[in-house]
Structure 1
Amino acid sequence: MLTLQNITVRLGGRTIIDRASAAIPPGGKVGLIGRNGAGKSTIMKVMTGEIEPDDGEFGMPTGARIGYLQQEAPHGTGTPLETVLAADTERAELLLAAEDDSDPEKLGEVHERLLAIDAWTAEARAARILVGLGFDEEMQGRPLDSYSGGWKMRVALAGLLFTRPDLLLLDEPSNHLDLEATLWLEDFLRAYPHTVVVISHERDLLNRVVSHILHLEGGKPTLYTGGYDAFEKQRRERLAQQAATAVKQQAQRDKLQAFVDRWRTKAHSAKQAQSRLKALARMKPVAAAIEDPTLSFDFPSPAELKPPLITMDGAATGYGDKIILDGLGLRIDPDDRIALLGQNGNGKTTLARLLASQLPAMKGEISASSKLNVGYFTQYQVEELEVDATPLEHMTRQMEGAKPGAVRAQLGRFGFSGDRALQKVETLSGGERARLALALITRDAPHMLILDEPTNHLDVDTREALVQALGQYDGAVIIVSHDRHMVEAAADRLILVNNGTAQPYDGSLDDYTDFVLGRNQPRGEDAKQATATPSARKQDRKAAARQRNLEKAIRLEIREAEKDVERLTRKRKAIDTALLDPAITVDGTATADLMKQRGQIETALEAAEAVWMQKADELDAVSA
């Protein structure tokens, strides 16, 4: 059993974790989640001993081994296989002792321990882990320093998984992985025999792997049973109950306050008024559940263009004289929602850059609409933001000549309203920087969005807001992402980039998952039947486009109804304020007029709320 007992952590004078307590069951697989900055990594560092809490303690079984993925990537001339094998220091020491020790009794103990830790199959186990994370046999024999930082981090992850610690701590382990390696990791963690605590913002990983969710909010953790979907349902019910309680309590407070205001100056009722005043002071406020206004993505709608946006016929592209992709014959239409599949290094980013006109066609033909405007998002744009500049300064430079109101409006679409637009980039979280980069690339209302790993650094709530915004966007969308939920929710057409080319993938994402994991592979005639015909795929795309248009129209009606409700509510409040004005209440005619207006507003408000509820039900029905 792992226990957090009244843990408090203060960093830089700010309380990050506030008297947190939780108990993690033995062998449990726990997803540690929360908004960016909630303290997830801080809790994990308390578990590793890297951070000493200001108060409270972390408890775990004596002698248990902790494994934690360090952020520093391994390097050197050693190979990935050698590096992974070296991660098991006990095995390395025992093998050395087996060679050097001449004492028969000690030698027997050494060999007994080597058998116990399955040392003789270590090389095969290490190779299997590396293969799962994308290293084929040839790649396992290259020097580490020939790899990029992302691939080196895969080696570090492989080494940690190979050591099989009693408590496996993983902080965003899929950030450096592609979809294929992420799927393998999910299967590995599901079968892992010891306790796992994983920080992740990937809904599918949390649903497939974990048995509990530890949610951090306001410096305090709450443990839920089940995966992410179960957590979301339980939390939604709890927040609804909390909101209802807050409304009920506020009504009670208003009633007590009204009594106090009316009778506290009356001698015969002063005692009762004082009693109610004390009851009011003792009443602990219940916080109402509120929506976070910073969860904002609102892509501007582009001007309409006739299809196709882009066509390719036998096209090839690459870098310098080296062709990376060849034989490309693709067509992109304005209503396309496409996900690019394939392992890292196979050319997904190369294809994205060709579509964004950042790479030329080295042969064949590629044509694009003369008015086509493309918004291309990469992590490099996030990293290249000027840390000393504000979002307002960035957008003002990009929208040169635009009126200040237009600049502010574009920032507001992505949650940078008011003072948030004046914060320096160095103070923004990774997720906020990604939102700013998305705001910058969509300033001209592009006809096509190309998003290369847009969810890195975004928490679960923000990822869901991005998915919803893409559903309402009118242009074409091309996605490269290891987040399966993002791919499933935002794409209705799959293209597999593999073996030096890119071809439509006729199966579903579930079919592709089975293909990657080597499960349920159709053969022969079954394989032919498992794929849809081109006409069927076209019909599916049209149906998906109709669905998006219908949902968008209903959402627009919901927004209008919400505006009506807000406008009428403001009017009602203004009348209520006026009715409390002594200068007006002495005038019976004015009071009667106000009461009549209030009645009319109440009727209109009820009608607007009814429309809102009806449209919300319609949206639920068409989205089901």
Structure 2
Amino acid sequence: MITINDLTVRLGGNTILDGASASIPPGARAGIVGRNGAGKSTLMKVLIGELDPDAGSINVPRRARLGYIAQEAPDGAATPFDTVLAADVERTTLLEEAETCEDSDRLGDLYDRLLAIDAYTAPARAGRILQGLGFDEDMQAQPLSSFSGGWKMRAALAALLFSAPDILLLDEPSNHLDLEATLWLENFLKSYPATLIIISHERDLLNNVVDTILHLQGGKITLYPGGYDDFERQRAERSAHLAAAAASQDAQRARLQDYVARNSARASTAKQAQSRAKMLAKMQPIAELADDPSLSFDFPDPSELRPPLITLDLAAVGYGETPVLRRLNLRIDPAERVALLGRNGNGKTTLARLLAAQLPPLEGAMNASGKMQVGYFTQYQVEELASDDTPLDHMTRAMTGKTAGAVRAQLGRFGFSGHRATQQVAKLSGGERARLALALITRDAPHMLILDEPTNHLDVDAREALVQALNAYEGAVILISHDRHMVELTADRLVLVDNGTAQEYAGSMTDYIDFVLGRNQPKAEGGAKPAKKSKADQARIREQAKEAKQQMAEQEKRMDRLQKQIASLDERLLTAGAKAGELGKERATLARELADIEAGWLEASERLETQAA
């Protein structure tokens, strides 16, 4: 049981958590939600001991191993694969000791423990986790120093998942993931066998993984059973009850005030009036959900343009003279909503930059309406906002020649009214900065919005507000997002960027999710059936399948032989005495050989399945 007792935390003179209490039972799968700034990450930092509370405490079971991703991403010459394996500290320590241990009794204990923790299957498990998070075999063997910050954080996440702590703590784990890796992570967490506490703004992940919601608001914690949709329904009911209670209280207050005003001067009723005045003084106002300016998104509608806005005709795009994508045939019309799907690194951002005219076509043709305005949002724009300037400073520079009223009006569309327009960017939350960046790119009422991961800094309520604003917007939208809820509610066309090109995906988001999880195959453009293979292709496939079956049969024989040898060694180790060390080393060698053969068998099996399809 994790118990949060009257927890109070103050930061920079502000009270973030104010007497918050909650209990999380063993094995629970708890999602922490709340508006940006509500104290979610603060609560997590207190939980891991990184931050001391001003009052109260958090009690965690003794000897429970807590797992949390550090702020610093791993770096250096170590590979992602080495980094993940090293995360199992016990395994690493035991293997190192076994290499030099000469005490046969101790060596026997070491190998018993290595067997108990599945030490010899660890490389295969590490590879599967890295593969699920987007690292192919080549990437797993490259030094971490060669990766971007986002990929380093993926490696850190892989190491944390591999270490399998008793209490797994995750703070926005999908921020550095694409949709495909997010789906894999969700499936992994569904079957996680220990306690899970996750901060996330992904509605689908919260619905599919957690069984309890901890809602932070006003410094307090309220527990709701179920996933996010259950929480939202219960919160709406609670809000309605609060509103009704507040209205009843207002009516009661008015009656008391009227009684006091009419009866205070009369001697016969003065005592009753004083009693009611005391009741008034003791009445605590009932808090209702207030209007939140941080939920304000209002995209200005563009002027009308005749279709199409953009057409690509066998276009290629890349960097320098090297194409990343070829054979691009695409048409975008006004008011269309297109989501670009595909793993990170496949070229979604490259295609977006081509559509935004930031990259020229290397081959083929791209035709765009001469009057078209494009608003292009990326995370770099959020990060590059001048921290010492205010939203008003940024918008005034961007709208040179416009009146002060027009500048203020554009800021007001995105919740920056009054004093909020004159706060320094350094004091804005990540979500507020994202809103400012969206306000800046839409100042000229663009005909097309290109949004590359617009939700990374937005909480669930703000994401919902953004969805509604996009659906009300009358221009075209090109969306890249790992938030499948946003894609499902916003996009009416899906384009899959894969294998060096981009093609219409004829299925729904549900079909695509099934495909990513291996439950179906991608649909051809227009739902057409795959082309029939030639006789030569069929013969080649039959020959390859025959070779794969022969290889698998040989590997199965070797696996069977090794398993028998290992079983025999296990029996001998029970009574080995002084020879336990030598036998243990022999067993470890055989176990590694068995793991390698099993990996080869799986590869051949997958190749055979692919050929059969």
TM-score, normalized by the shorter chain, greater than 0.5: yes
Q: Which residue is equivalent to 2:328?
A: 328
Deviation of 1:279 after TM superposition, in Å, equals 1.6
Q: Which residue is equivalent to 1:152?
A: 152
Q: Which residue is equivalent to 1:227?
A: 227
> Could you say what secondary structure the match of 1:302 adopts?
coil
What amino acid is the match of 2:7? I
Q: Which residue is equivalent to 2:566?
A: none
Written as runs of structure 1 = structure 2, the 5 A alignment for 1:584-623 is none
How high is the TM-score relative to the length of structure 1?
Answer: 0.83
Contact 2:80 2:155 in 1 (8 A): yes
Q: Deviations over 1:12-61 (max 9, x none)?
A: 23221111111111111111111111111111111111112222221122
What amino acid is the match of 1:134? G
Q: Which residue is equivalent to 2:399?
A: 399
Contact 2:312 2:365 in 1 (8 A): yes
Written as runs of structure 1 = structure 2, the 5 A alignment for 1:436-455 is 436-455=436-455
Q: Which residue is equivalent to 1:25?
A: 25
Deviation of 1:144 after TM superposition, in Å, equals 1.2
Deviation of 1:112 after TM superposition, in Å, equals 1.2
Deviation of 1:82 after TM superposition, in Å, equals 0.9
Q: Which residue is equivalent to 1:339?
A: 339
What amino acid is the match of 1:264? S
Contact 2:315 2:327 in 1 (8 A): yes
Matched, 1:512 2:512: yes
Deviation of 1:498 after TM superposition, in Å, equals 0.5
Written as runs of structure 1 = structure 2, the 5 A alignment for 1:25-424 is 25-424=25-424
How many aligned positions are there?
Answer: 529
RMSD of Structure 2 on Structure 1 (CA)? 1.4
CA distance in 1, matches of 2:294, 2:495: 33
> Could you say what secondary structure the match of 1:330 adopts?
strand
CA distance in 2, matches of 1:2, 1:287: 28
> Could you say what secondary structure the match of 1:223 adopts?
strand
What amino acid is the match of 1:437? A
What amino acid is the match of 1:451? L
What amino acid is the match of 1:26? P
Deviation of 1:142 after TM superposition, in Å, equals 1.3
CA distance in 1, matches of 2:275, 2:3: 43
* Gap regions ≥5 residues in structure 2: 530-613
CA distance in 2, matches of 1:9, 1:301: 44
What amino acid is the match of 2:268? H
CA distance in 2, matches of 1:442, 1:279: 52
Q: Which residue is equivalent to 2:478?
A: 478
After superposition, the Cα gap between the structure-2 partners of 1:75 and 1:219, relative to the gap in structure 1 and judged at 3 Å, is same
Q: Deviations over 1:560-605 (max 9, x none)?
A: xxxxxxxxxxxxxxxxxxxxxxxxxxxxxxxxxxxxxxxxxxxxxx
After superposition, the Cα gap between the structure-2 partners of 1:533 and 1:475, relative to the gap in structure 1 and judged at 3 Å, is farther
What amino acid is the match of 2:135? F
> Could you say what secondary structure the match of 1:372 adopts?
coil
CA distance in 2, matches of 1:220, 1:533: 55
Deviation of 1:531 after TM superposition, in Å, equals 6.5
Deviation of 1:532 after TM superposition, in Å, equals 4.6
What amino acid is the match of 2:178? D
Contact 1:316 1:362 in 2 (8 A): yes
> Could you say what secondary structure the match of 1:340 adopts?
strand
Contact 2:335 2:476 in 1 (8 A): yes
CA distance in 2, matches of 1:522, 1:307: 33
Deviation of 1:514 after TM superposition, in Å, equals 1.0
Q: Which residue is equivalent to 1:557?
A: none
What amino acid is the match of 2:513? T
Q: Which residue is equivalent to 1:425?
A: 425
Deviation of 1:187 after TM superposition, in Å, equals 0.3
CA distance in 1, matches of 2:103, 2:51: 43
Deviation of 1:268 after TM superposition, in Å, equals 2.6
After superposition, the Cα gap between the structure-2 partners of 1:429 and 1:325, relative to the gap in structure 1 and judged at 3 Å, is same
What amino acid is the match of 2:507? G
> Could you say what secondary structure the match of 2:293 adopts?
coil
CA distance in 2, matches of 1:516, 1:244: 47
> Could you say what secondary structure the match of 2:375 adopts?
strand
> Could you say what secondary structure the match of 2:433 adopts?
helix
Deviation of 1:274 after TM superposition, in Å, equals 1.4
CA distance in 2, matches of 1:10, 1:279: 32
Deviation of 1:492 after TM superposition, in Å, equals 1.2
Q: Deviations over 1:124-156 (max 9, x none)?
A: 000000000001112111111111111111000
Deviation of 1:522 after TM superposition, in Å, equals 5.2
> Could you say what secondary structure the match of 1:294 adopts?
helix
Moved more, 469-478 or 270-279: 270-279
Q: Deviations over 1:382-431 (max 9, x none)?
A: 11111111111111111111111111000000000011101111110110
What amino acid is the match of 1:14? N
Moved more, 329-338 or 276-285: 276-285
What amino acid is the match of 1:236? A
* Gap regions ≥5 residues in structure 1: 535-624
What amino acid is the match of 2:338? I
How high is the TM-score relative to the length of structure 2?
Answer: 0.85
After superposition, the Cα gap between the structure-2 partners of 1:291 and 1:533, relative to the gap in structure 1 and judged at 3 Å, is farther
CA distance in 1, matches of 2:205, 2:380: 25
Deviation of 1:293 after TM superposition, in Å, equals 2.5
Written as runs of structure 1 = structure 2, the 5 A alignment for 1:466-615 is 466-519=466-519, 521=520, 532=527
Q: Deviations over 1:217-274 (max 9, x none)?
A: 1111111110000000001100110110000001000011011112211233222211
Deviation of 1:181 after TM superposition, in Å, equals 0.2
After superposition, the Cα gap between the structure-2 partners of 1:328 and 1:38, relative to the gap in structure 1 and judged at 3 Å, is same
What amino acid is the match of 1:194? A
Contact 1:507 1:531 in 2 (8 A): no
Moved more, 268-277 or 349-358: 268-277
Deviation of 1:294 after TM superposition, in Å, equals 2.6
Q: Which residue is equivalent to 1:461?
A: 461
What amino acid is the match of 1:438? L
Contact 2:515 2:521 in 1 (8 A): no
Deviation of 1:288 after TM superposition, in Å, equals 2.5
CA distance in 2, matches of 1:177, 1:425: 26
Contact 2:81 2:127 in 1 (8 A): yes
Moved more, 329-338 or 271-280: 271-280
What amino acid is the match of 1:150? G
> Could you say what secondary structure the match of 1:5 adopts?
strand
Contact 1:38 1:219 in 2 (8 A): yes
After superposition, the Cα gap between the structure-2 partners of 1:234 and 1:128, relative to the gap in structure 1 and judged at 3 Å, is same
After superposition, the Cα gap between the structure-2 partners of 1:373 and 1:522, relative to the gap in structure 1 and judged at 3 Å, is closer
What amino acid is the match of 2:154? R
CA distance in 1, matches of 2:387, 2:14: 23
> Could you say what secondary structure the match of 1:478 adopts?
strand
CA distance in 1, matches of 2:293, 2:436: 15
> Could you say what secondary structure the match of 1:297 adopts?
coil
> Could you say what secondary structure the match of 2:62 adopts?
coil
Q: Which residue is equivalent to 1:577?
A: none
Q: Which residue is equivalent to 1:2?
A: 2
Moved more, 200-209 or 49-58: 49-58
What amino acid is the match of 1:45? K
